[in-house]
Amino acid sequence: MENPHAERQNVLLQRIIKNADKCTETVVELNHCLEEIVRANEHVRIAAELVTKYRKNVQYNLEATRAAEATSEE
């Protein structure tokens, strides 16, 4: 005679394994979608870096110009 407790545990373990497999597949699909988004946004990231560098250069040049003007006024 089979153990009903062991049978019940086996059924539950099979359900857990099935759900874990579905969850894993979903996470893999999500990762794939996120990779596509990252690739699609690569141009935006590069543009943002260029704008940030440009802003820093402009800020540096403005400060240098103001310092030169202040020195020439004295």
pLDDT reported for residue 57: 96
Amino acid 11 reads V
Furthest-apart CA pair in the chain: how many Å?
105
pLDDT reported for residue 72: 80
pLDDT reported for residue 37: 97
pLDDT reported for residue 39: 96
Q: What is the dihedral of CA 51, 55, 61, 67, to 10 degrees?
A: 180
As given in the structure block, the two tokens for residue 71 are 């020195």
Distance CA 52, CA 33 (A): 28
pLDDT in tens, the chain (74 residues): 678 899 999 999 999 999 999 999 999 999 999 999 999 999 999 999 999 999 999 999 999 999 888 888 76
pLDDT reported for residue 1: 62
